[in-house]
Amino acid sequence: MTTHYLVLSGLLFAIGAMGVLIRRNAIVVFMCVELMLNACNLAFVTFSRQVGNLEGQIIAFFVMVVAAAEVVVGLAIIVTIFRTRRSASVDDANLLKY
């Protein structure tokens, strides 16, 4: 019964990961990471139901808080770099290499 949710969670995770890999805009990349976190949340909740304890659900709450904190930090960084470079493309930030 829970398998569908797990598959969905897996799909979401994969979509998120693919998004990180293929999208250039830093904001979008970041959103994809958030998507991955949410996929995790879905999995936690599903497993919580499957194994029959509440831990998973509690974890989901924690993850949301952490994700929120991450957004704050992430956006700050992205905005700063956008102000400097007038570009939010992750590919443009390419001075550090080799």
Partner 1 sequence: MESEIAQITQHTGGVIGNAWLMIAFPLLGAFILLVFNRLTDRWGHLLGVAMSLASFVVAVLAFFELIGLGEAERRRAVHLYEFIPNLDINMGLLIDPLSISFALLITGVGSLIHIYSIGYMAHDEHRRRFFAYLNLFVAAMLLLVLADNYVGLFIGWEGVGLASYLLIGFWQFKPSAAVAAKKAFVVNRVGDLGLLVGMFVIFTTYQTLSFAELKPIEVENGTTLAIGLLLLLGACGKSAQLPLQSWLLDAMEGPTPVSALIHAATMVTAGVYLVVRSGAYFFPEGSGAALAVAIVGAATLLAGAIIGCAKDDIKKGLAGSTMSQIGYMMLGAGLGPAGYAFAIGHLITHGFFKADLFLGAGSVMHGMNDEVNMRKYGGLRKYMPLTFWTFFIGYLAIIGFPLLSGYFTKDGIIETAIEHNQVLGWLAVLGAGITGFYMSRMVFMTFFGQKRWAEDAHPHESPTVMTVPLIVLSIGAIFLGGYLVLSNRLLLFLAPAVGRPEELPTFHFVSVPGITTLALVAVGAGYAWVRYAQAEVPVVQPRGSFVTTFARRDLYGDALNESLLMRPGQWLTRIAVFFDNRGVDGLVNGLAAGIGGSSGRLRRIQTGFARTYALSIFIGAALLTGALLLVGTI
Partner 2 sequence: MNSIPAPTIEYGTLAPLLVVFAAAVIGVLVEAFAPRYLRKAIHVPLTLLSLLGAFALVLVQVLRGRVSTTASAMGAVAVDGPALFIWGVILVLSFVCVLLINDEGHFVASAAAVPGSADEEEAESMSGGVGHTEVYPLVLFAVGGMLLFPASHDLLTMFVALEVMSLPLYLLCGLARRRRLLSQEASMKYFLLGAFSSAFFLYGTAMVYGYAGTVSLPGINQALAVGASLDPLLMIGLALLGVGLLFKIGAAPFQAWKPDVYQGAPTPITALMASGTLVAAVGAVLRVFWVGLGNLDWNWRPVIWVVAALTMVVGSVLAITQTEIKRMLAYSSIAHAGFLLVGVMATFATPEQNAVSLKAVLFYLAVYGFTTVGAFAIVTLVRDPGGEAGHLSRWAGLGKRAPVLAGVFAFFLLAFAGIPLTSGFFGKYAVFAAALNSGTQPGDSMGGWMAGLVVVGVVASAVAAFFYVRVIVLMFFSEPAADGPAIAVPTAGTVAVIALALLVTVGVGLYPESVLGVADDAASSLFIR
**Interaction pattern, residues 18-57, with partner 2; x per rule: CB under 8 A:** --x-----x--xx--x--xx-xx--xx-xxx-xxxx-xx-
**Interaction pattern, residues 6-45, with partner 1; x per rule: CB under 8 A:** -----------x--xxx-x----x----------------
Closer Cβ to partner 1, 54 or 96, answer by number: 96
Closer Cβ to partner 1, 65 or 73, answer by number: 73
8 in Cβ contact with 42 (< 8 Å): yes
41 in Cβ contact with 57 (< 8 Å): no
CA–CA separation, 40 and 31 (whole Å): 14
19 C-beta neighbours (distance < 10 Å), count: 18
